[in-house]
Amino acid sequence: MLALLTQTESASSRRYQPPALFSIRRSCALSAALLPLSFVLPMFAQSARAADDDAHAAPAVFVTGAREKRVLDPNLPASSERITAEQLQNLNVVNTEDALKYMPNMAIRKRFIGDENATISVRGNGTSQTARGLVYADGLLLSNLLGNTHSFPPRWSMVFPEDIAQVDVIYGPFSALYPGNSMGATVAITTKMPTKLEAMAKVQVFSQQFNLFGVDGHFDGNKSTAAIGNKVGDLSFLLGIDHLSNAGQPFVYASQPRSTQAAGAAAIPVTGAYSYTDPNGAPATIFGVNAEGAEHAVQDQFKFKATYDINPSLQAGFTFGYWRQQVSNSTQTFLRDANGNPVYAGLVNIGGYQYKLPESFFAPAASESENQLYGLTLKSRNASGWNYSAIASWFDVSKSIAHSANSGLASNSSGVATFGDGSGWKTLDLAADYKPAAVVAGSHWPTIGYHYDNYFLENTTYNLSNWRSNNGNDRSGFNNAFAGKTETQALFAQDAWQLSQLWKLTYGLRYEDWRAYDGVRAVPGASQRYADRSLAYWSPKAALAYKASPDLTLRFSTGRAYRFPTVSELFQGSLTGSTLVNNDPNLKPENDLAKELSAEWAHFNGLLRLSLFEDDVKNTLFSQTNTTVFPNVTSIQNIDRVRSRGIELSYAAEDVMLRGLDLSASVGYTRSIILENSKNPATVGKNFYRIPLWRANLVGSYRIGDQATATLAGRYSGRQYNTLSNTDVNPDTFGGTSSFLVFDSKLTFKPSRNTELGVGVDNLTNRRYYVYYPYPGRTFYLEAKVSL
């Protein structure tokens, strides 16, 4: 097994093969490596754990309202957590990502309700490392692996919360069924399908009071959802629509370091500026809300799903999702001259010191996008014997336009527009497994399969004579462009071997063949095309479980995982004048050796889990400054070695101490340290970016009879750093990443079987906390739901 933990790399000049084909040489190599499994494949016994299958062939589920208890699943090679639709009803959930905000050792970077760039952080993976996590909905990939920053979040919008049956989180890269992007966690969303005529309508309104610097006001929004579905003979279908409109609080402020230059005669005396200390402890001055400013988001979603039972053991499915978003970014200057007129740009005199404000400080912006998701599934459903599944998906960014003005002084200012139309991804997953009628010692539970994905990204920026132009006719000049594609093919095999009544070994192997191609960057008068690259790696996995008692299971898991560079990491970079700089098409993939030791104890009306984990990652992909060259270069680079170690304790139970009281609680400690960094040696020994030492969650729900439930929840995140050098010594301010303890509450009341009312509050104590941007203040919720 240790020998399998080494890597192999193919020649970069290797010729491309069609998606479903591998060269004879690779096929022979794979056959040799899988030889140990060949002895057990004829003995196919049972599929490897349903939670693994959820992400590849998650079954359609209709939740009837019966309470589900978490139970031990000894076939799973890693720690996992689950939240059900019934539990979500008792939380303040507006967007799909809200379902995860109380998961153990996990955080959601969500700046406001309707934030398109909501990302997750889990264990030693920060909120900006979005390519280190997988999100599936009924086996369809929602992870946006076109990039690895906040700008490439999962496409949560393809699932509306009322459509969720359950959400499973599988920690770490210990399953061979998933690619190396599972280094953080795999989120498998299972949605509902009706078994009879079902209809639902829900309305939510929300409002927050926000006060920071020169902003003091209410920011309000609303959301409406409706769905109808039925099962007619062998055909089941569900149709849903969703509309959201919300004004987010201002979260980016125009600022400059505190001036020491005496104001000259040309500087206009102004009032309204705010003095503050920036995250690095330096004095600074804030002038207003700048171009990113306050976002007003309008989102519309349409969802159609259908399944058809071809025969009692074979089902076909189709999914179509449409999501549209329009965002306007407003700006605001706090500065006023002697006559009370707003001041936006130029030389100003603040307290006798001179500042020069660029015209772009208060320039507005807007964006619009349309996305479609297409999915096809075919799967068998035999109670025993062979089962097969095939899942194909296509995520199409059919429209993507981001406009920004060059100046805030005129409504028809010139500007730029970036077009991302034609980007997206395609996937194909084929799998086969076998189920026995009975499980005995010596049985095997193997699964084999094939995976294909293709990511393609195109971004072109034009200069506009009028920044508000929505069409190509007003493009006054080409500015820059970049494009590229990545493709991965994989074969995987995994077997859960019941060694005896007490011992189980789950082991697997994944072979991935990756290539990047058609990479190009261009500016006026210059362009750069990049050579194609290809890499191949083996990723072995193993987990040994011991059932120490009927209620206690111990498990040790280990696995190698490779996370390949994304298109934007390879080809986007940045621009200086007309020179292409700061991107590296030869970035190495991240290489993680993960380990976990866990104990799961079914006791106290629930499940108690203790997990020790370690991720030792070579070649972490991250934006940093190379200080070993002159001039210094800031770009996406490989950090030689980052190690994350930690411990998690989680508990979830029903009827704790008194009937009707349900609790879930967790605490996690993670120490993520940079061990080697040849390009920036000063960061060695420092804490990695945005990984808090401590996270803790507590959710208590009390069922008051059959009609009402009261919930109180708390979220805690400890000290973390916004820089690799850990120089941000003042984190509790704008631009910093602060620790926080916030409380949420909700009262859910059901006047009748078909109606439901809810009132809730997030951030009950109105805690001001930051993830560079200020998070929302105290937010009130009202909701009403009617169902058939």
The predicted pLDDT at position 438 comes to: 77
Going from the C-alpha of 705 to that of each of 63, 753, 782, the distances in angstroms are 21, 13, 22
Q: Tell me which DSSP letter residue 40 carries.
A: T
- The 10 Å CB-count burial string (b at 16+, else e) for 79-117 is bbbbbbbbbbbbbbbbbbbbbbbbbbbbbbbbbbbbbbe
Round to whole Å and give the CA distance between 590 and 768.
35
3-class state of residue 682 by DSSP: helix
- pTM of the entire predicted model: 0.90
Q: Are 285 and 274 in contact (CB under 8 A)?
A: yes
With a CB cutoff of 8 Å and minimum separation 6, the contacts of 233 are: none
Structure tokens at 641: 């070695």
Cis peptide before 631 (omega within 30 of 0): yes
Strand order in the sheet with 353-357: 268-269, 346-350, 353-357
| Parallel, antiparallel or unpaired: strands 268-269 and 346-350 | parallel
Partnered with residue 419 across adjacent β-strands are: 401, 460
With a CB cutoff of 8 Å and minimum separation 6, the contacts of 382 are: 313, 435
Give the DSSP H or E segment for 601: strand 590-603
| Parallel, antiparallel or unpaired: strands 444-464 and 475-498 | antiparallel
Q: Which residues of the chain have pLDDT under 70?
A: 1-75, 470-476, 573-581
The predicted pLDDT at position 604 comes to: 82
3-class state of residue 332 by DSSP: strand
Residues 460-484: tens digit of each pLDDT: 999 988 888 766 556 668 988 999 9
- Alpha carbon dihedral 283, 289, 292, 294, in 10-degree steps, equals 130
- The 10 Å CB-count burial string (b at 16+, else e) for 3-19 is eeeeeeebeeebeeeee
Going from the C-alpha of 373 to that of each of 92, 137, 234, 320, 485, the distances in angstroms are 27, 11, 24, 6, 19
3-class state of residue 710 by DSSP: strand
* Domains along the sequence of the chain with CATH: 3-284+293-787 (2.40.170.20)
Structure tokens at 72: 């031990």
Please provide the distance, in angstroms rounded to a whole number, between the alpha carbons at the two ends of the chain. 55
Q: Tell me which DSSP letter residue 61 carries.
A: B
Residue 501 C-beta-side C-alpha neighbours within 13 Å: 2
The predicted pLDDT at position 74 comes to: 55
Alpha helices (runs of H) in 104-193, residue ranges in sequence order: none
Name the residue among 750, 734, 754, 658 with its Cα closest to residue 210.
Answer: 734
Name the residue among 331, 229, 257, 349 with its Cα closest to residue 289.
Answer: 331
Q: Are 387 and 379 in contact (CB under 8 A)?
A: yes
